[in-house]
Structures are given as C-alpha cells and as structure tokens.
Amino acid sequence: MKTLSHWIGGKPVEGVSGNFGPVYNPATGAQEKQVAFASADEVDAAVRAAKEAFRTWGDSSLAKRTSVLFKYRELLDAHREEIARLITAEHGKVHSDALGEVARGLEIVELACGIPEKLKGELSTQVSTRVDVAAIRQSLGVVAGITPFNFPAMVPMWMFPLAIACGNTFVLKPSEKVPSAALKLAELAAEAGLPDGVLNVVNGDKVAVDAILEHPDIAAVSFVGSTPIARYIHTTGTANGKRVQALGGAKNHMLVLPDADLDLAADSAINAAYGSAGERCMAISVVVAVGETADPLIGKIKERADQLRIGPGDDPASEMGPLITKVHRDKVASYVSGAAAQGADVVIDGTGYTVEGYEDGHWIGISLLDHVTPGMDAYKDEIFGPVLSVVRVDTYDEAIELMNSSPWGNGTAIFTRDGGAARRFQMEVEAGMVGVNVPIPVPVGYHSFGGWKDSLFGDHHIYGNDGVHFYTRGKVVTTRWPDPSDGGINLGFPSNH
C-alpha cells in the first residue's frame, strides 16, 4: 500500500511518528493509501525550514517572486488533468468538477502574479517642511494554512500563493482524507523554482493542528472548515498571539419570489444543492419559496432530479459522485429519516442509493424535503450532503426574517425579475456573499471570499485585497532630510508649517 508523507525543505520527507491514517477511494470504499501523521516535532521541522527560508525569501524582489509564480501558473495549467485525477480518486467528485476546482484555484495564482500592484504603498510629500510620509506593507514571516477535504487543491491555492507572493513562507496542513493534491502542488512549486522551505506540507490530525496553533514562530493561520472547528482555531490561535482568519460552515438560503423564472431557479437549485454531492460550504441547502411558488418549483426540481446521473467520478457520464466517507454518508442519511419523523415531506429519498459494481462505495442519492420548518434538525444543522430543504413562506418580509435569524451568514441568493426587490434583498440580507439569479456567488479572485456571523471568525476574508492585507502588516515611515542650508538650534515645539 502506498504511503504518503510530508514535503519539508523542498523535498519529500518520510514520516517518523509511526502514526498513519487511511486514504479511501470513496467510489469503491477501499483503502488505497495511507498517510503519515506528523508529530509536533515534525511540524517544528517544517516551521524551522520555513523560518530559515524566510531570511532570503522575505527580502527577495517582487520580480523574483512573480517570475516563480508565473512559471508555477504555467506548470499548474499543464498538470491540471493530473491534479483533477488525484482529487477524484480521494474525494470522489466527478472529473469535470475537479477540473473546475483547479481552475478556480488558478485564479488566485494569477492574482498573486500581479502582487507588485497590490503591494504598492502610499506617499504623502511635504506634510511638513521637507517631511514626507510613506505607508508600506511588509510580510509577516512564517504563516500556515489548515484546509478541508472538500476542495483539496482550490482552498490551499486560496492561501499559499498569495502568502508567498507577499514575501512570507508557508506551512500547509491539508485534510488527512485527501493529501495527494497538496503534495503535488508543493512538488510543482519546487519545479517552478520556489526556493526550498518556502512552501512546506505536513499531513496529520489534531496533533499537527495544535502544533501549528501553538508554535511561537508561526505568525498567522488561515483555516477553512466547519464552524465548531473554525471557532476552536480562532480561539486557540489568537490565544497564542497569532493573526487568524477562520472560515466556518453555512446554511445557505435561496429565496425564490413569485415573479422568478422558475426554470432557471430549478436548474440553479439542482446545481447548487447537489453539485459536488453537496459537500461545499457554498451549497444551497434551503430554498425559501414565497407564496404560490413552492408547488411548481418543487415539480420542476423533481423532474430534473430524476435525470441526474450518479456514479464514479472518473466516469464521464457521472454528474455526482459519492460522499467522502461511509460515516459521513450515514450521518447525511440520518437527516432525511429524521426530517420525516419531525413532520417534513420527503419528496425524494436518496438514502438507499447504490451503484452497480461499486456497492461498497460511499453512495447516497439526492434527497428533497418539503414543508421543512426552522425547528427541524434538517434545517438547523449544516448537513454537508445532497439534501435540499424547501421552506414555504407567505411574504418577502417573512423570508428575510427567517434567513437573517440563521446563525450563519456565508452565501445567499435571490431569484426574481424585479430589480427593486433584488436591490432591497442585497442590502437587507445578513450574509457576506449575495447572488442575484446566481445560486453560488463565489467571488472571482480579485474580490474576497467570506461570510458573516458564525461563518467567519477573524477580521479578514480570504484572497483578494483582504488576503493581501491578512498576509502583510502596515508600516508608516516619516522622513525628513535636512536641506544643506538648514542649521542652528531651535528648542521650540515643532510646528506643521
């Protein structure tokens, strides 16, 4: 069985802790690899490599950094098929979805290639007689990222390219369920000419996470994952003096008004709820149907859902793959049966689904629940699977009150033909990302990604301008060069004229 380990100091490093975790193929349910779990000492070795590399990388020119990043972008593009195959093999998502993930990650690499523009400072001249003031941004040092299983390539690329472009060095701890993509990203970075130690990858579990959060030489930590873990990361990291951005979970609502294009809304609900098997924090998990909208909309969703093809991610005919683990599959299924017991109507029950020839895979079909109410577990919890709930309300005001009562505020969407209603919604809804007739409003690379409330812990969203500010700190320099004609002694209080 293949063993995956770490990437430290520019090369693969075999794990020595003696602890390993299984890596499954979700389509077959078989363990195909194992991954070494780092001890605190191994995390320390990665941090020491990063700290040593920072001595030169932090002082490197912007031209040097961007030359490496442009080459890196070229290599990632050339290897996108290979990276996508690694994602499909360990996550289970279909190949086209994995390719899309790589493409969205590349957006941030491209943003990082333009870092000279983002790091331009400000200068005010002659603020006093022959006194100038400059504002500049400088790197932090060693920073770290802890990333989730659902986007093994994209989320790491949301972090480290921008961090190293800003002059930092990086320690990445990917999900132990999907380690191969991160190791490939590090290997390609070295091939692009990134100096040894600038990017390091340590695999592991909570031992590695805590070692990162407590390490005195790590200045900042980025995290994407569930809300309880995000809260823990933020609390523990800040208690150890670190800057932390921790993106948590979500319960994203899609509001459908009576004037909406219901065909577009139904297509969008299918794509946003069931794409990537619902294992994404921007998935739509609740449709809020206003007035008489619910019945025709549910009919259209059901009609489309019946045609959805579920199968192995490497089969070009598959539109949705399996869930990441059997345990998670069973947990998702429990929400469907639980909703029925709590009074919801199960329009589609996908819990008994399997794929011929792959019976041991982590399969579940899509589920559609109607007449869901806020007190039901299927509404209150982040399910992270292909389960879509429909909540019926009478008015827009009732809908906005329902949505804003959610403890999460990641993403949301409205479907309507009324520009005034859409504008009112985007101003009134309490969420960090809003779509108007767009179900998954993930921003492009030069805008930042992040939610409100329990979907974000920390003051900075990820990538975009917020990402640059998170991975740098400001400094103001006040300069006075005396004119040769100046002289004499003046003990009076300095004035600004």
Q: Which residues are catalytic?
A: 281
**3-class DSSP assignment, residue 484:** coil
| CA angle (200, 240, 39) in 5-degree steps | 40
CA distances for 233 relative to 29, 43, 145, 244, 486, angstroms:
31, 17, 11, 8, 55
**3-class DSSP assignment, residue 263:** helix
Q: What is the token pair recorded at 410?
A: 């990641």
**3-class DSSP assignment, residue 317:** coil
Among the listed residues 386, 436, 117, the one whose alpha carbon sits nearest the alpha carbon of residue 254 = 436
Residues in CB range of 491: below 8 A, 6 or more apart: none
Return phi, psi of residue 428, to 5°: -95, -25
CA torsion, points 435, 108, 407, 207, in degrees to nearest 10?
160
**Cα distance between residue 155 and residue 29, in whole Å:** 25
- The number of beta carbons lying within 10 Å of the beta carbon of residue 103 is 15
> Terminus-to-terminus CA distance in the chain, angstroms?
76
349 DSSP assignment: -
138 within 8 A of 473, measured Cβ to Cβ: yes
Among the listed residues 407, 393, 399, 405, the one whose alpha carbon sits nearest the alpha carbon of residue 457 = 407
Strand ordering across the sheet containing 411-415:
345-348, 367-370, 387-393, 284-290, 252-256, 411-415, 433-436
At residue 423, what is the residue type? R
CA distances for 201 relative to 2, 42, 144, 169, 197, angstroms:
18, 11, 10, 12, 10
Taking CB atoms within 8 Å and a gap of at least 24, the contacts of 431-438 are: 431/252, 431/403, 431/455, 432/456, 432/461, 433/282, 435/411, 437/261, 437/264, 437/268, 437/413, 438/268, 438/413
Q: What is the token pair recorded at 371?
A: 């007449």
